[in-house]
Chain A
Amino acid sequence: MGGLVYYSSTSGNTARFISALGLPALRIPISPKNPMPEPSEPYVLVTPCYADGEGRGAVAKQVIHFLNDPDRRALLRGVIASGNRNFGTLYAFAGKVISEKCGVPVLYRFELAGTETDIARVRAGLAQFWGMTCSTMA
């Protein structure tokens, strides 16, 4: 089973989702002064979305900095994006941006800190996904 890396701003929605998920996860720091996590195995990225009405700025700067490192990026296997349906067509748009840039699938989308249903789906989905990824790569 692979790992999880996540970003959560000071509003803490994604951090609450990760905590409810109960799986080990590395956090991308809010402050650029703090060191980036260095994953040693394939991982799924969980990230919120910060797009304005035109879709600009969807991916948080710290997430961009994290993915700019080729070694870290090489281990990225999928993205789970959070957002708010109130943003219409740009709901969880960061997932789409990262998916297209890095050639990995959007695995799931959820709103704010997620619901119990989201937690159950992501737990089951990740178990299945890592099973598939392992058999694909073996």
Chain B
Amino acid sequence: MKDHSMTRSTLKAINWNRIQDDKDLEVWNRLTANFWLPEKVPLSNDVPSWATLRPEEQTLTIRVFTGLTLLDTIQNTVGAPTLMPDAITPHEEAVLSNICFMEAVHARSYSSIFSTLCGMKEVDEAFRWSEDNPHLQQKAQIILEKYRAQDEPLKKKIASVFLESFLFYSGFYLPMYWSSRAKLTNTADLIRLIIRDEAVHGYYIGYKFQRGLELLSEEKRQELKDFAFALMFDLYEIETRYTEELYDGIGLTEDVKAFLHYNANKALQNLGYEALFPAQACEVNPAILAALSPDSENHDFFSGSGSSYVIGKAVATEDEDWNF
């Protein structure tokens, strides 16, 4: 509860009809409208498809998902709760509580995938692998270390945005890859729900970061920017090693790295910063982009694929037309 209620011993109830920051209500509405549970995805339809994967492909997939489970566990139990005391408005705290719970739903979803597709033995092995993998443990430790910095609210937000908008993507790549080859398509539908949530989380926490930044001196702002880019470099180093270890075996490492660069730039944009990786390093496999946003056909005019497009003429519309 905000507004120094503890010191004045007046406890304040949250009033959603008095909003200090419209973004809080906008994001609350979007997140609650997007609420979902893994039970709504017919994962069992993927059982025949799972059987077509080679044993090493199955192992890779389970490992990737345990890695993602670890990151979601951290966001649920430490990440979102640690941002709450820094909230500027009571509504921001409420939004963070939604984010916190959805991270638990994400972490829980991977276990639904496991129980549907895999044997207990392989899954137990993969969880042990996640505890022993030095790269996975290292990136988790670095983020936790930043979360523990009590007097640095904006550094915590940087760490959170990097986890939500960057660190997940070495893992998200694989279900998008399988989906592009018409494998595990229901699992990919579930992962897309997670990807959608993470986009809102990264956007919102990045937005709050920028609001906080506005109140600081130029010197402090520069320090935070240096901190953000240094942290991105450190995490990127670990991510490349993690990616190589996972994907070298099936020859996809370079493809995954392009996806990492593309997402690292988007994470920095969520914080209001410019891109780090040049365009040629971010040329993501079009099949992966199509798997990310299926049916979102790219027939726009300037991309050249819409050459037959007839220029429309504005037609008079009535105001009622806009009542969505």
Which chain B residues (224-241) contact chain A, with CB distance < 8 Å?
Answer: none
Residues from chain A with Cβ under 8 Å of B12 in the complex: none
A101 within 8 A of B: yes
B252 within 8 A of A: no
Q: Which single member of A85, A95, A125 contacts B289 (CB below 8 Å)?
A: A85
Q: In the bound complex, do residue A88 and residue B192 qualify as a contact, i.e. CB atoms below 8 Å apart?
A: yes
Q: Mark B273-310, 1 if CB is under 8 A from A, else 0.
A: 00100010010000001001111101111110010010
Answer whether A115 and B296 are a contact pair too, CB < 8 Å, given A68-B322, A103-B315: no
Q: Which single member of A84, A99, A125 contacts B203 (CB below 8 Å)?
A: A84
Binds A, one of B92-100, B112-120, B128-136, B194-202: B194-202
Q: In the bound complex, do residue A52 and residue B34 qualify as a contact, i.e. CB atoms below 8 Å apart?
A: yes
Q: In the bound complex, do residue A121 and residue B303 qualify as a contact, i.e. CB atoms below 8 Å apart?
A: yes
> Bound complex: CA of A70 vs CA of B21, how far in Å?
31
Q: In the bound complex, do residue B314 and residue A75 qualify as a contact, i.e. CB atoms below 8 Å apart?
A: yes
A3 within 8 A of B: no
Answer whether A115 and B196 are a contact pair too, CB < 8 Å, given A89-B293, A106-B301: no
A25 within 8 A of B: no
> Bound complex: CA of A115 vs CA of B275, how far in Å?
8
Q: In the bound complex, do residue A52 and residue B30 qualify as a contact, i.e. CB atoms below 8 Å apart?
A: yes
Q: In the bound complex, do residue A53 and residue B33 qualify as a contact, i.e. CB atoms below 8 Å apart?
A: yes
Q: Which single member of A9, A13, A87, A128 contacts B23 (CB below 8 Å)?
A: A9
> Bound complex: CA of A9 vs CA of B322, how far in Å?
20
Answer whether A115 and B314 are a contact pair too, CB < 8 Å, given A86-B198, A108-B300: no
Closest residue of B by beta carbon distance from A68: B319
A40 within 8 A of B: no
A57 within 8 A of B: yes
A56 within 8 A of B: yes
Answer whether A86 and B314 are a contact pair too, CB < 8 Å, given A53-B33, A108-B301, A112-B266: no
Q: In the bound complex, do residue B314 and residue A10 qualify as a contact, i.e. CB atoms below 8 Å apart?
A: no
**How near does chain A come to B185, taking the closest CB pair, in angstroms?**
13
> Bound complex: CA of A10 vs CA of B272, how far in Å?
11
Q: In the bound complex, do residue A56 and residue B302 qualify as a contact, i.e. CB atoms below 8 Å apart?
A: no
Answer whether A87 and B311 are a contact pair too, CB < 8 Å, given A52-B30, A107-B302, A125-B302: no
A102 within 8 A of B: yes
Q: Mark A81-98, 1 if CB is under 8 A from B, else 0.
A: 000111111111001000
> Bound complex: CA of A136 vs CA of B313, how far in Å?
11
Residues from chain B with Cβ under 8 Å of A52 in the complex: 29-30, 33-34
Closest residue of A by beta carbon distance from B298: A109
Q: In the bound complex, do residue B279 and residue A88 qualify as a contact, i.e. CB atoms below 8 Å apart?
A: no
Answer whether A86 and B275 are a contact pair too, CB < 8 Å, given A59-B324, A102-B314, A129-B301: no
> Bound complex: CA of A101 vs CA of B298, how far in Å?
19
A26 within 8 A of B: no
Q: In the bound complex, do residue A67 and residue B322 qualify as a contact, i.e. CB atoms below 8 Å apart?
A: yes
Answer whether A102 and B317 are a contact pair too, CB < 8 Å, given A10-B207, A86-B292: yes
Q: In the bound complex, do residue B317 and residue A73 qualify as a contact, i.e. CB atoms below 8 Å apart?
A: yes
Which chain A residues (1-37) contact chain B, with CB distance < 8 Å?
Answer: 9-13, 16
**How near does chain B come to A26, taking the closest CB pair, in angstroms?**
17
Most central of B34, B210, B301, B316 by chain A CB within 10 Å: B301
Residues from chain B with Cβ under 8 Å of A10 in the complex: 21-23, 207, 211
Sample of 8 more A-B contacts, CB < 8 Å, known A10-B211, A77-B314: A12-B272, A56-B324, A59-B322, A78-B311, A89-B296, A112-B270, A115-B265, A129-B302
* 9 A-B pairs with C-beta separation under 8 A: A12-B272, A53-B33, A56-B33, A59-B324, A88-B293, A103-B312, A105-B311, A107-B301, A124-B302
